[in-house]
Structure 1
């Protein structure tokens, strides 16, 4: 594992959310880290998300960043410009899409070349945006985190991207606050 993977996990529940989560500390400007620009991150991410194995993927960085930021806005605060931009990518992706001859039709873009990654991710994101799962997308409650995930808990109460990461930090913060708060003596009565 390279340094660019330290602190990063595929935990969004959907590859489109995992793409959005390639920005760490999105809501904390002092700590924001764009992993797509980190050396060796993108080829490993593509392999681990089963989008392909491409040693030379540097041409993908900027288009992926544009798709990622548009998806983030669509999932958190959609604007007409983002819908229009995504629609253009979707039209282009559909021109490359194929479906097996069985119902229900599931359109995909086979990733045979590095140029197929954006259209393939666009169709995957479209499936998420049109599915009931879109209502399950949550943003981590960890201060500064900003990662998105699918909340598949029974009562839809998941708060953190990872209980072991942001959840532990929050529990440690609460414990520290409780331990430093002076305990008032009970009045004698």
Structure 2
């Protein structure tokens, strides 16, 4: 959830009015400082209504290093990579996801795979590549092909497509100028940022507005 704290009661009430159903405010973040900031109660000024956001931070996300668990709950495995992909378990998290990704459809393999790999530390990515070179056999053809092409060739196009697919999967309209800019990018780090941003932006144009963040 983005925007100033004082706007968040507006999000809740507008969403409830639009969909006519019970509404909760859930903030998902991988930054501990953001967890503390977003957890602060919001005094609306109305009697008996202090909005207390629900916040899911790194400590609330399990470390998924078991392939069977990743296969059973791939979305949790993706969150695990995003929350813990810079820690000591990063390589194990990546290996678990890649091994357990065989049952996913092609679209989710692309989107989830890019989210996982873009969230892993450089050391974890090197470890996965070393595992492939040493003869480690991942159980899915997807994992073998994806890690094998972990170099520059093919990565730019895969990441750009993942950005667009993820935006579209979330129901966001992708303007022509945004699509062309994403497909034209030759910066792996920029595309990695966009893949992560695609999970949280409310408008596809925000990707281009936050290039430097």
TM over 0.5: no
| Greater relative contact order (CA < 8 Å, ≥ 6 in sequence) | 1
When Rg is computed on C-alpha atoms for both structures, the one with the higher figure is 1
Report the TM-score when normalising by structure 1.
0.29
